[in-house]
Amino acid sequence: MSSKSRDTGKKKARKNKRVPAARAAVSRPVTLARSAEDCERLAERHPEEREELLMEAADAWRDAGEPERALAVYERLLDRGEGGSERYDLVDAFRISALWDLQRLEEARAGAAAFRTRHPRDAGAWMFVAECFEEAEETATAAEWYTAGVTHVLGAGTPVTADTVEEHPDSFDLETLVIGRHRVRRLLGAPHDDWDEAADELHVRRASSLPGRVRPLDEMHDPIRLRRLRKEGPEALEAEIRELTEALEEERAVRTGPPRACVLFWPAEEFTLLLQRRPKAAEAYGDDHAAHLRQVERSLRQLSDEGAPHLAVGRATVAGLQAHAEADGGSPDTSATRSAYAAELARRGQATAWPPPRNGPCWCGSDRKYKKCCGSPAVN
């Protein structure tokens, strides 16, 4: 996690002491359109949270099937007359993606060309624009964009190795760029080069934390497999994930896997129940569920950047925490008990390995792809 990401998280933590009561309305069960409208209104009333609220509004408009409204929000964020955005290039990448979704292809391509002439250094922004070309099946162009993104982020002349990627402040998104480049080059039938070797090594380092056989990146990016996944849609990917999960559970049953660093995640209903029954929990988690999701992802990325090899998300329940506390003789209100509960979930194989596949379901249970949900660079 970059220092910028950590600073942003600290700013949000400070702001949340004052704003969450006003923002709580956004977390209530309302329609997506209503949620987007609420976020836009709150952005006017709370300028210190303007960018974060408008980004949430844009996401809600897109999920509500209103891409034109989302596009208008992105354009507001890019209007320097209204204050602009701290992550201008990332917001512009979202705008280009929205134009692509609306089939306004000439505008999307013009936006991409303008984006590239600025020579941005934001890995997440490069990733989103490159994926637009990849999803449009313009594979050769996507390969060029992934390559350009890695070059701009690392700097011309910097060797692309697994170590240089992992040591970079934006290692999470940079790694995704390098692996995305491997994927499209595999589709093109291009021979392996040094950057592809780095992608292989990064993949092995990530996958080595999982029990069982490490599936090679060439196999993961096999053109026949990828075409089948595109043709059959999310169902094929979900079936593959289930198959892999079952294999991991079988492997776990016959041998003890390595201990995992597990971060607790409270689903919305459990989060509400937790705060009702254990008000002190707000000191650790706040009272905004959306902020809780972002903090879980940030914590996992920070642990990853610090070298923790075995990471997982534990789906917590109030009943489960209470049962663990009673069995262990501790109090559900202490961080030590919650940490022990997380470790117990990991030991029992009841935690989800992190990170999930970028095109797989997000760990938060939203039914959205991880890359467009908690795995989005906007979480940083």
CA distance 187 to 143: 10
End-to-end CA distance of the chain: 8
- The answer, yes or no, to whether residue 24 has pLDDT greater than 70, is no
What's the gap between Cα 252 and its chain centre? 26
More confident residue, 248 or 66: 66
pLDDT in tens, 33-46: 999 999 999 999 99
CB 331 within 8 A of CB 339: no
pTM of this prediction? 0.64
pLDDT in tens, 89-136: 999 999 999 999 999 999 999 999 999 999 999 999 999 999 999 999
Q: What sign for the dihedral angle of Cα 93, 97, 98, 103?
A: positive
- The answer, yes or no, to whether residue 186 has pLDDT greater than 70, is yes
Specify the pLDDT at position 129. 97
Point out the least confidently predicted range of 73-77, 275-279, 301-305, 344-348: 344-348
3-state secondary structure 210-274: CCCCCCCHHHHCCHHHHHHHHHHCHHHHHHHHHHHHHHHHHHHHHCCCCCCEEEEECCHHHHHHH
Point out the least confidently predicted range of 21-25, 77-81, 88-92, 120-124: 21-25
3-state secondary structure 10-66: HHHHHHHCCCHHHHHHHHCCCCHHHHHHHHHHHHHHCHHHHHHHHHHHHHHHHHCCC
Tell me the C-alpha to C-alpha distance, in Å, between residue 26 and each of 112, 269, 295.
32, 15, 17
Rounded mean pLDDT, 142-170: 95
- pLDDT band for position 17 (50/70/90)? very low
Only one residue has tokens 């099946």, namely: 137
